[in-house]
Amino acid sequence: MNHISKSSEDTEKIAKEFLDKITNGFPLTRGTKGVVSRACVVGLTGDLGTGKTTFTQFVAKSLGVKTKVNSPTFVIMKRYSLPLRRGSARRARGFKKVGRKFKNLFHIDAYRLKNEKELFHLGWEEIISNPENLVFIEWPELVAKAMPKKHYKISIKHLPRRSGAKAGTKEGHRKFGIKFSS
């Protein structure tokens, strides 16, 4: 899955589409019996300023988070409770058909972590064991050993522009590569 974003609005659409995909039965977190047994973990890779935090902010918005979602660079980890939507209990029961429901969104920035150990101190194992959790982590390559075998990978790159602003400025176009790895 590859996308080009020319604006924040495009990124918002890509974030929504991605959410739709993961809530509507990508094979990722289903066990052999079709039961979801683990959290859904998404690694966001890309240089500083490519839009990893922005992407997560749109995910949060799309999930109904009303509080401001700031970059967790300094606090490392933030948790947002997700509002229950109408019909969500029915939806949860009918997961196979309609999709899964998350209760918590975790936003982690591993940039300042020295290694996986620091992530484990934050309760990582417990977080990724709970199927009600949706976890977005920036700089997953810095804690590669802690990443669950099955997770999504989103890589974002600045694209050079033909004219106008330099590549690497915040207005530059972005390319999103979205993969599921196992």
Ligand X SMILES: Nc1ncnc2c1ncn2[C@@H]1O[C@H](COP(=O)(O)OP(=O)(O)O)[C@@H](O)[C@H]1O
Q: Which residues contact 139 (CB under 8 A, 6 or more apart)?
A: 44, 45, 109, 110, 111, 113
Write each residue from 89 to 128 as x if it is in contact with ligand X (CB under 6 A), else as -, in one continuous string: ----------------------------------------
Smallest gap, in angstroms, from Cβ of residue 172 to ligand X? 8
Residues in contact with Mg ion by CB under 5 A are 52-53, 71
- How many residues does this entry show for the chain? 182
11 in contact with ligand X (CB under 6 A) = yes
29 in contact with ligand X (CB under 6 A) = no
SS (H, E, C) the chain: CEEEECCHHHHHHHHHHHHHHHHCCCCCCECCCCCECCCEEEEEECCCCCCHHHHHHHHHHHCCCCCCCCCCCCCCEEEEECCCCCCHHHHHHCHHHHCCCCCEEEEEEHHHCCCHHHHHHCCHHHHHHCCCEEEEEECHHHHHHHCCCCEEEEEEEECCCCCCCCCCCCCCCEEEEEEEEC
- Residue from 101, 151, 158, 174 binding ligand X (CB under 6 A): 174
101 interface partner picked from ligand X, Mg ion, none, CB below 5 to 8 A per type: none
Smallest gap, in angstroms, from Cβ of residue 91 to Mg ion? 31
Q: Which is nearer to ligand X, 46 or 131 (CB)?
A: 46
Smallest gap, in angstroms, from Cβ of residue 47 to ligand X? 7
35 interface partner picked from ligand X, Mg ion, none, CB below 5 to 8 A per type: none
Q: Which is nearer to ligand X, 101 or 107 (CB)?
A: 107
54 in contact with ligand X (CB under 6 A) = yes
Q: Which is nearer to ligand X, 2 or 182 (CB)?
A: 2
Rule CB under 6 A: which of 134-153 touch ligand X? 138
* Contact residues: ligand X, CB under 6 A: 5, 7-8, 11, 46, 48-54, 71, 138, 170-171, 174
